[in-house]
Amino acid sequence: MFTGIIETMGTLTRIEREGGNVHYSLSSKITHELKIDQSMAHNGVCLTVVAIDGDQYTVTAIQETLDKTALKQWAVGDKINLERAMRLGDRLDGHLVQGHVDEVASCISVEDQDGSWLYRFAYSEDSKNMTIEKGSICVNGTSLTVVGSEPNSFGVAIIPYTYEHTVFHQLKKGDLVNIEFDMVGKYIAKLR
């Protein structure tokens, strides 16, 4: 379980395919604190640390993960949002995030608002998930508040700190992102 509060960014250093799996190696300032078998969110995707070598660690994505996320578009040199799993008893500064991506969305606009940014995303018309105004959404692992909820699209307002300390500073129109809808909202929608 995660909070959607990004701890740091990592840099993708190597991509290696093995059968239907892909191994991603990253370097980050928290690598020395990691351990094998630890769950970490990578742009919102929960992946397990399978190897550590110096300042680099490796995670593996299976075909199911590759099919349902934007990981297949990662390239060496990309910056990736990182968050370690929350500990029981920690503050929940974001919202409850499972690291189980619901779908991939497309950035349809980025608007500079003189000190902040408004990003809009579109997702599948077939989606049974939804957003609500002022509800929670997780975009590339970042816990955000929905602004301008519409059928199959939503916006998020990004403050300068979030812009600088997450991958939002490199996100542009047309880019694909991992989204996870609010867990509580999904359960309520399922009960209807």
**In this model, does residue 21 exceed pLDDT 90?**
yes
φ, ψ dihedrals at 160, nearest 5°: -55, -40
The CATH topology of domain 8-84 is Elongation Factor Tu (Ef-tu); domain 3 (2.40.30)
pLDDT at 69: 96
Q: Does 8-84 match 103-191 in CATH topology?
A: yes
Contacts of 64 (CB under 8 A, 6+ apart): none
What region, left, alpha or beta, does residue 85 occupy, with left being phi > 0 and alpha being psi -120 to 50 degrees? Answer: beta
26-58 per-residue burial string, b: 16 or more CB within 10 A, e: under 16: bebeebeeeeeebebbbbbbbbebeeeeeebbb
| CB contact at 8 A, 127 and 152 | yes
Mean pLDDT, residues 4-25 taken together:
96
What is residue 61's predicted lDDT score, i.e. its pLDDT? 97
Higher pLDDT, 68 or 185: 68
CB distance 153 to 107 below 8 Å = no
Phi (first) and psi of residue 115, to 5 degrees: 120, -15
Which CATH fold would you assign to the domain 103-191? Elongation Factor Tu (Ef-tu); domain 3 (2.40.30)
Report the pLDDT averaged over residues 49-59.
97
Non-local CB neighbours of 154 within 8 Å, separated by 6+ positions:
120, 121, 131, 137, 146, 147, 148
Condensed to tens digits (0 to 9), the pLDDT of residues 90-139 reads: 776 777 778 889 999 999 999 999 999 999 999 998 877 688 899 999 99
Which stretch of DSSP H or E encloses residue 59? strand 56-61
In this prediction, residue 156 carries a pLDDT of 97
**pLDDT 10s digits, 141-183:** 999 999 999 989 999 999 999 999 999 999 999 999 999 998 8
Position 129 scores a pLDDT of 67
CA distances from 36 to 113, 163, 186 (A): 42, 30, 31
pLDDT tops 80 at residue 190: no
Whole-prediction pTM: 0.90
Sorted by where each begins, the domain ranges of the chain are 8-84, 103-191
State the pLDDT at residue 125.
86
Three-state SS for 123?
Answer: coil
Which position has the higher pLDDT, 12 or 98? 12
For residue 10, is pLDDT > 90? Answer: yes
